[in-house]
Structure 1
Amino acid sequence: MEVDSENGLLQRKQATYQSLDETFLIAKETYKGQQYSQIYFARLHLMRTMLYSLLPTWKPHLPSCNVLGLEQGKECVIVGTLYKHMKLKPSVLDEYSKERSASPLVQPRNFLHSDDYLVLEDESGRVKLRGALLLPSVYVTGIVVALHGKETGAGDFEVEDLLEAGLPHQIDRPLNSGEDKFVVFVSGLSVGSTSANPLQFQLFVDHITGHLGDEKEQGMAAQIVQVVIAGNSVEIGRGLLNGQNLGPKDQSKLSEPIKELDILMSQIAAGIPVDIMPGEADPANFALPQQPLHRCLFPGSAAFNTFRSCTNPHSFELDDVRFLGTSGQNIDDLAKYSDATCKLEFLERTLRWRHIAPTAPNTLGCYPFTDRDPFFIEMCPHVYFIGNQEKFDTSVIKGSDGQVVRLVCIPKFAETGTAVMLNLRNLECHALTFGSQFDS
C-alpha cells in the first residue's frame, strides 16, 4: 500500500508470514463417541516422557515409580496429572437437584475454597497430596508435574519438591535489524452491541491504513505489517437465538453486525494483511480449538489475499518471530478456578506448564481428541497474547535457557477504545487509544 504525503509516497513495509495453525485444525478428525479420557492419556504420555528426560538433572539419586508402586516412608519421584477437588465447583447435576431453589441467586466469579485439595493421578491410580509446597490456589485440574516425596502412614503423598515442565525450547530471534515493523492487535470489537462506538473503530481503521494524521503518523502507519483481531468481533442479540424461526426483520438484525464488520475488514485488508480469530461470542464452534470463521461471512474481505481467517488458538511467524495467542477463554477459565495477582501471571503459568489450556476439557470445552493434545506448547513463542481482557497489560519473562517472551493482554476495544502495537524489532509494545477525538 502507498500513502500520499507532501514529500512523495510512503511504501508500506512487508514481512514474511508463515501460518502454524495446522495443529489446531480438526478437519480430518471424526467423532465416533470417544471419551475425554483419551486426551488426558495423550497429554500424560507426552508430558511424562518429557519430564522423565529432566529427572537425571533434577533428582538423579531417587527412583521413579507410579502411584500403585508407592511404599510408606520411601522417597521417590512420581509423575502424573493433577486433579483439584473443589467444594464450590459448579456441577450440571445441580441444575436438576431438588435443592436448586436453595442455591444462591448470585454465582461467584471465582470458585476457590479453603477446603480445596490436590490429587495426583496416573494410569495405575490416584493419591491425595499434602504439603505446603503445592498450593491448591495456584494449580488446576489437568497439569502434569513430577513430585518428589513419600507416602505417609495415612496413605497420602507428602510433597517435598516439585518439577514443572518449564519454558520449552525457543528458536533464536532474528538479530536486531534496526528496522521498525509493527504488529497491531485488537480484540472485543463487539460490532452490533450497544457498547460499541462505530466512530472509534473507524478512527482505528483510518489510522492504521494511513488515512489520518500528519506525515509522521502516516510514516508510522506505513510500518504496520500485520493486524491481528483476537476474537469477539461481533455481538448478536441473544434474544434472536431462541430456537424459533426468524422472520425477515430478525434475519436482518442477525446478519447486520457481520455485514458491518466485513465492510470495516475490507478497508484494512485492502492495505494490510489481517488475521481474524473467532471468539466466544462469534459465529463459530464453541469448543476449543475454534475453527476459522467461514469465508462466506466476509464476501468483501475474502476477495483480498491479505485476509486470513484463522483458528483460536492462533500461531504464526512474522520475519521468524513466533507468535502464539488466544481470544482469552483459556485464561478467563483459569481465573475462575485458581488465583493470581494479574492475568499476566496466568499467562506465565501456562507457558511454564507447557499447556495453553490445562483446564480443558474439565471446565473448558474442547474437542475430544484421541491420539494427541493440540494445546501442548512444543516451541516457546517470542510473543504470547490473549484477547478480550479488561485492560492493556504487558511484561517480559525469561527462561532458564535464555528464552525471552513478551506477554500481552489485549483489552476489549468496544469498552476501552484501545488496541496494542508491537515492534518486531525489539518486541516493545504500547497501547493505541481512540476516542471521540483521535488520541494515540
Structure 2
Amino acid sequence: MHSDQEYPPVYRQPSHYNPLDTFKLPSGQERHYQQQYGDMYFLRLAKLKPAVEKVAVEAWEGFSIAGERARRVDRVLDVRQGELCWVAGTIYMDMPLKPNILDDLTKENFTLAPPPRRTYLDPAHPELTQVMLEDESGRLRLTGSMLQSTQLATGAIIAVLGTENANGDFEAIDIKVPDLAPQPRRWEQDTTQASQKTPAKGKIAFVSGLGITGTSGDTIALDLLTDYLLGYMGSPSSGDNDGTTSDASKITRLIVAGNSIGTSMTVDANDNGAGPKKKNAPKKYGYDASAYNASPITELDSFLAEILPSIPVTLMPGASDPANFSLPQQGIHRAMFPQARAYCAPPPAGGQAPEPGWFDSVTNPWEGDVEGWRLWGSSGQNVDDVLRYLDFADEYGTGDSANGDAEARMKIMEAMLRWRCAVPTAPDTIWSYPFQTDDPFVMQSCPHIFFAGNQPQFKTAVIEGDSPLRLNGGDTEMADADEDKSGPRVRLLSIPSFSKTGELVLVDAETLEVEVVKFGTFADPVHQRTYTYMLTRLAISTSTVLLVPYSKWHVPRYHEWMKDEEIQQATASEPLTLEEEYAMQQSWRQDPDKLTFIICLPTASSHQDTGSSTPLRPEDDSPERMVGDINLFLRIDDGEEGASAPQIIGEIELMIAEKQNQRKGFGRAALLAFLRYIVDHEAAILSEFVGRDAAAAAAAAALALSKGAAGSGAGGWRFSCLSVKIGQANVRSLALFESVLFRKIADEPNYFGEFELRRTDLGREGVDEALGRAGVRGYTILEYGRKS
C-alpha cells in the first residue's frame, strides 16, 4: 500500500565549532626532543603553586594545635622537625612496579614486549609505595593516615599541613588542591551566538573505540552506527516514518575520541602479500610482531566519507591509531584518508589563521568550543595511567576489564579537574613531548564538558567548584547542581569503547543532559557481569586434583617455575620479571579470551559429587600445593583459505611444572576436569567472549548460520572444537590428548614442529565416561572466596 502523504525535508542543526590549538606541537625543525623532561614539573609547579597556596591560606590561616599556629614554609627543605607548618609542592610516588628505563636497558635478551601493567602497586608489599613532596629544593617523604583517605598520583600539585617527625618524614594532617580553574561563560568565544535568544536544541555525539580491524566483524556495528547518524533509522522515541524529526537530525557534531583502529588482527611480517591474512597463532605471553595492514584505515576512511556529507566530524587519535604515541598526539594526517580528506579545510593562505573544516583531525588531548560550551577531552590514556597509581577496592576482583572501576574512573576525572592538571603522570609514566616554556596539560580554564574515551563502561556525573574533593568519597550518580549556584559546573563523561559496548553518547547542547544509544548486536552488560563473576569465582575439586582461578598469591611460585629453561622451551615462553608476571596474571584472570586455573593437590577432605558450594580454605591452594596450570585461549579461525565460515576455537595449554609431580596422573585428571568444566559452562564462557569482541560476535553468528543453530542469546554460542598444539617430540603429551579423543588434523607437523589435535565431541556423557575410566571421582564445583 502506497501513501500519498508527503514528508517535509529534514535538516540537520548547524554546528558552532571553535577548536583551540592548545596541544599543537611546533612543526618541522622547531620540534626538539633533546631537552630534559624535568622542566615540565617545574613549569607546572610555578603555574599552580599560587593557586594551591591561595586555597591553603584560606583554609589554614590562624589554624593552631595546642597553641602552636601553623606557619607557611616556602621550600620543602625549610621544614623543621616538630614544627607545625604547611608547604606546597609536586607529588612524586615511588612505586615498585612503575616502569624503569634502567631496568629496560638491562633486558638485552628480552625479545618480547612486556605486558601492560594493570597497576604500579605491589599487592604483596603495599608498604613499598612511598609518597613524596618535591620542589626545586628537594624532596620530603609524606606519611600519616591522611594519605590513606586521599589518593594521589605523581605530578599533582598540592599543599600539605603537618609536622616533620624524628625519622625525617612529614606527617600530613590535611591536604589541599588548587580546585577548579575559572570557567569561561558559554559563547565567550562567539558573541554573535551569545546574542541569540532561541536555543538551537541540538545534540553533540561522542563515540570512542570503534576498533576497526578490517574484517567482517566490523561490518554490522559500523553499518548500524552509520544508518543511525544518517537518519535512516528514524526516531527511536516516536517510531519510524511517522513524520516527526529524526533524533539524528539534532546531532550537530560527532566527536570520535580515539582508538578508531583495532589491534586484534595482524599480518605476518614475512608475508609477501600473496597469502591470506590470518590471525597469528596464540602465545602464552602475547602475539607475534606484525607488519602494517592497510585494511583498518581504509575501512575507517570509507566510514567517514559516508557520514561526512551529512554530519561534521572531529577525529581524535588514540593509542592504537596511526599517530605519534607520546602525548599530545598530533592529528592523524589527512593523507591517511583519501576519500574523507575532501572535507578537510584547505591550507590557509599566507598570514591567515587556519579555519576548521567539516572534517577536523585534531590532537589528543583536545580542547575546543562546541555549541558555545568549552570541551576538554582525551582518548583515555590519562585516566588509565592514573588508575594504576591508586588502590580502589574491587569487590569481585574483576579489575578494570569489567565494570568494577567505573566509579573510580569518575573520581579520577574529578580529581584531575581539581588538580587543574589533566595528565599529571606525564612525563613520568606517560610518554610526553618535553615542553620547555609551557605545560599545556595544566588547565588554564575549567571546561563545561570533560570527557575520556575508551573506558570500560558509560558513566556520567556533574561536579561543582565549591564541593570537596571526592576521590575517595561517595557515589557520583547525582542530580544536576542548582542553577542558582554561580561557581563552575562540569559534566564528566566516561565514553565507552564502541567495539565492546556498542554505545553512542549524546549530550544535549542546551541542558548538557546525557543519553546513551545502544546498538543491539552487543551482549547485555548485566549478563556480562554475571558471567565474569561466575568464571572468576569458581574452583573445581576432584579426588585427584584441585583447580583454582590463577590469583596473585600464586605468582611467586609460578614465577619460579617459569625460570626453568626446559619449561620455557616447552611453552614457547620468554622469561619475565616478577612484576611482569603479576601483570600477566591480571591479564589471564580478566581478559574474556582467556581462562586459567592453577592445578593443586586435592583437598584434605574427599569431596563427593553432592553439589556442595562450601568455600575452600586458604591453605588448600597454598604455594606448596601447586603442581601446574591449565589454560583455555579463545580464538577465531577463518579457515586456511578464508572460504569457510569463521570458527570459535578453544585452545588448551597444560603444564605439570616439576618433574616429581609428573607421571602421577595429575595432568590427565586436570585435563578431564577442565573438559567437564568447559562443557558445563560453554555458554557462559562464549557469551563473555562474544559480548566483548565484535569480531567474535560476527564469527559466532556466522558459525550459527552455517550450522542452522540459533546463534544468539545465552546458551546459543558453541565451540567449533577444542584444540591443542604439541611439539612432535613430546610423545607423552600427544598420547595423553589422543587418549581423550583429540585427533591430529594433519599427518605431518607444522612449520614450527607442532601437531595440532582437535576434539569436536563436546558432549558431557563422553567426558564423564573418561573421568570414570581414569579413576577421577567427586567432581564438584566450589565457591572460590579469596579475592584476586
TM-score, normalization: structure 2? 0.51
CA distance in 2, matches of 1:307, 1:27: 22
Give the conservation status (yes or no) of the 8 Å contact 1:193–1:236: no
Q: Classify the secondary structure of the residue corresponding to 2:72.
A: coil
CA distance in 1, matches of 2:88, 2:255: 38
CA distance in 1, matches of 2:149, 2:32: 34
CA shift, 1:395, in A, is: 1.3
In structure 1, what is the equivalent of residue 298 of structure 2? 259
CA shift, 1:277, in A, is: 0.4
Q: Structure 1 stretch 203-212 or stretch 336-345: which is displaced more?
A: 336-345
Give the conservation status (yes or no) of the 8 Å contact 2:99–2:429: no
In structure 2, what is the equivalent of residue 394 of structure 1? 460
Q: Classify the secondary structure of the residue corresponding to 1:127.
A: strand
Give the gaps of 5 or more residues in structure 2.
63-70, 188-193, 235-239, 278-289, 344-356, 393-406, 467-485, 525-788
1:335 aligned residue (384, 387, 390):
387
CA shift, 1:172, in A, is: 3.0
Give the conservation status (yes or no) of the 8 Å contact 2:214–2:299: no
- Does residue 82 of structure 1 match 2:94? no
CA distance in 2, matches of 1:358, 1:292: 22
CA distance in 1, matches of 2:222, 2:366: 23
CA shift, 1:212, in A, is: 2.3
Give the conservation status (yes or no) of the 8 Å contact 1:85–1:117: yes
**1:41-440 correspondence to structure 2 within 5 Å:** 41-61=42-62, 62-95=71-104, 109-113=118-122, 114-115=126-127, 116-135=129-148, 138-173=151-186, 179-192=200-213, 196-213=217-234, 214-215=240-241, 218-235=245-262, 239-240=266-267, 254-304=293-343, 305-340=357-392, 341-400=407-466, 402-436=487-521
Q: Classify the secondary structure of the residue corresponding to 1:272.
A: coil
The one-letter code matched in structure 2 to 1:7 is Y
The one-letter code matched in structure 2 to 1:377 is M
In structure 2, relative to structure 1, the CA distance for the partners of 1:83 and 1:196 (3 Å cut) is farther
CA distance in 1, matches of 2:178, 2:230: 42
The runs of at least 4 consecutive aligned structure 1 residues that moved more than 6 Å come to: 98-101, 248-253
CA shift, 1:95, in A, is: 4.7
String of CA shifts for 1:263-294, please: whole Å, max 9, x gaps. Answer: 11012211111000000000000000000000
Give the conservation status (yes or no) of the 8 Å contact 1:293–1:310: yes
CA distance in 1, matches of 2:33, 2:45: 22
In structure 2, what is the equivalent of residue 11 of structure 1? 11
Give the conservation status (yes or no) of the 8 Å contact 1:266–1:300: yes
CA distance in 2, matches of 1:107, 1:204: 31
TM-score, normalization: structure 1? 0.89
Q: Classify the secondary structure of the residue corresponding to 2:341.
A: helix
Aligned-residue CA RMSD (Å)? 2.9
Matched-pair identity in %: 37
CA shift, 1:39, in A, is: 0.8
CA shift, 1:71, in A, is: 1.4
In structure 2, relative to structure 1, the CA distance for the partners of 1:246 and 1:72 (3 Å cut) is farther
Give the conservation status (yes or no) of the 8 Å contact 1:233–1:279: yes
CA distance in 1, matches of 2:419, 2:312: 32
In structure 1, what is the equivalent of residue 713 of structure 2? none
Q: Classify the secondary structure of the residue corresponding to 1:134.
A: helix
In structure 2, relative to structure 1, the CA distance for the partners of 1:431 and 1:98 (3 Å cut) is closer
The one-letter code matched in structure 2 to 1:48 is K
CA distance in 1, matches of 2:81, 2:252: 60
String of CA shifts for 1:200-248, please: whole Å, max 9, x gaps. Answer: 1111111111122224675211111000011111125675485x79658
Q: Classify the secondary structure of the residue corresponding to 2:50.
A: helix
CA shift, 1:329, in A, is: 0.5
Give the conservation status (yes or no) of the 8 Å contact 2:266–2:293: no
CA distance in 2, matches of 1:403, 1:125: 35
In structure 2, relative to structure 1, the CA distance for the partners of 1:375 and 1:195 (3 Å cut) is farther
CA shift, 1:46, in A, is: 0.9
Give the conservation status (yes or no) of the 8 Å contact 2:214–2:295: no
CA shift, 1:88, in A, is: 2.9
Q: Structure 1 stretch 290-299 or stretch 249-258: which is displaced more?
A: 249-258
String of CA shifts for 1:124-144, please: whole Å, max 9, x gaps. Answer: 111111211123881111111
The one-letter code matched in structure 1 to 2:43 is A
Q: Classify the secondary structure of the residue corresponding to 1:303.
A: helix
Give the gaps of 5 or more residues in structure 1.
none
In structure 2, relative to structure 1, the CA distance for the partners of 1:11 and 1:18 (3 Å cut) is same
Q: Classify the secondary structure of the residue corresponding to 2:507.
A: strand
In structure 2, relative to structure 1, the CA distance for the partners of 1:59 and 1:229 (3 Å cut) is same
- Larger RCO: 1 or 2 (CA < 8 Å, sep 6+): 1
